[in-house]
């Protein structure tokens, strides 16, 4: 992977770990919380996308750009709701590493088997290490880590489901900014606006809960609403210069950062053991980054 793409995805990983920690603090925010931070993203980045189109982008917008934005918006809404539900019923140190491990793993497998990408032997070794790391992260007896069996199972299920949505939007977004040539800022800004509109009917039905969340968790809403777009814009720019089979795993430094946060800040004791699995995943990311 070239140095620019690697730098972008590593910066994105830091931003991703920070906003996930903020999202975990909200806990049972659910879809209303997702609506709030998507709306913050739309308010900030949709106007920026319009300015970019008018002042910078030489090409007129295409209709397929809107279709691509609709698809990514739907996938990201599924991701946001699934992730937030996972944080409500499971632990950060289970949901987060599983989601961030299975997502790039599936992305790499699809990119190699269906898209014809060839990451080379380091990439293949890295993918294997990611698999091993994810197995370590998701294993262990509940009696040893202090989590109830039901809570641990729920964390595993939602972690894997979140990983599936990550793979889906990663592959689609890579196609959109490369094959379709959509400028990343325009792509994300329009997608954020659609995401907010998709959740608006639900937010209206639960407006009392939305208002309460904004009052009690405004800082977390703003953190996620600003850092999530920044992190993903970095990834979108990286996808324009490096294949998805390398970018998707390399950004998962956030797995290790999330594990350390769960251990040192949230006091999730079982994160200490699962941190070992995260480090194996990190070794896999390093190998893929060198491919």
Average pLDDT per consecutive 10 residues, the chain (291 residues; last block may be shorter): 83 84 74 91 95 91 91 91 83 75 83 81 77 65 56 85 92 93 93 92 92 92 93 91 81 65 56 66 75 67
281: its two tokens: 């995943």
pLDDT of residue 144: 42
pLDDT of residue 214: 93
pLDDT of residue 262: 58
Per the CB < 8 A criterion, the answer to whether 159 and 138 are in contact is yes
Quote the CA–CA distance of 33 and 52 in Å, as a whole number: 28
pLDDT of residue 135: 64
pLDDT of residue 146: 54
pTM: 0.79
């Amino acid at each position: 992977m070239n140095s620019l793409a690697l730098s972008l995805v590593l910066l994105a990983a830091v931003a991703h770990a920070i906003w996930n920690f903020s999202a975990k603090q909200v806990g049972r925010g659910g879809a209303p919380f997702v609506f709030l931070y998507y709306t913050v993203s739309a308010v900030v980045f949709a106007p920026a996308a319009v300015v970019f189109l008018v002042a910078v982008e030489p090409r007129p917008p295409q209709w397929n750009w809107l279709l691509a934005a609709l698809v990514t918006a739907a996938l990201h809404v599924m991701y946001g709701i699934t992730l937030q539900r996972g944080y409500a019923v499971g632990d950060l140190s289970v949901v987060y590493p599983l989601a961030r491990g299975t997502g790039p793993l599936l992305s790499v497998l699809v990119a190699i088997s269906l898209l014809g990408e060839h990451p080379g032997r380091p990439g293949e070794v890295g993918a294997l290490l990611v698999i091993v790391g994810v197995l370590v992260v998701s294993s262990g007896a509940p009696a040893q880590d202090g989590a109830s069996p039901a809570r641990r199972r729920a964390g595993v299920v939602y972690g894997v489901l979140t990983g599936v949505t990550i793979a889906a939007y990663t592959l689609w977004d890579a196609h959109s900014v490369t094959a379709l040539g959509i400028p990343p800022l325009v792509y994300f800004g329009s997608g954020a606006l659609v995401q907010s509109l998709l959740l608006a009917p639900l937010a209206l039905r639960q407006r009392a809960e939305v208002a309460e969340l904004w009052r009690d968790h405004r800082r977390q809403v703003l953190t996620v609403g600003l850092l999530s777009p920044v992190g993903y814009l970095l990834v979108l720019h990286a996808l324009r210069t490096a294949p998805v089979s390398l970018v998707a795993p390399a950004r998962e430094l956030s797995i290790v950062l999330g594990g350390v946060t769960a251990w040192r800040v949230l006091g999730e004791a079982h994160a200490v053991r699962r941190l070992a699995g995260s480090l194996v995943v990190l070794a896999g990311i390093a190998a893929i980054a060198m491919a």
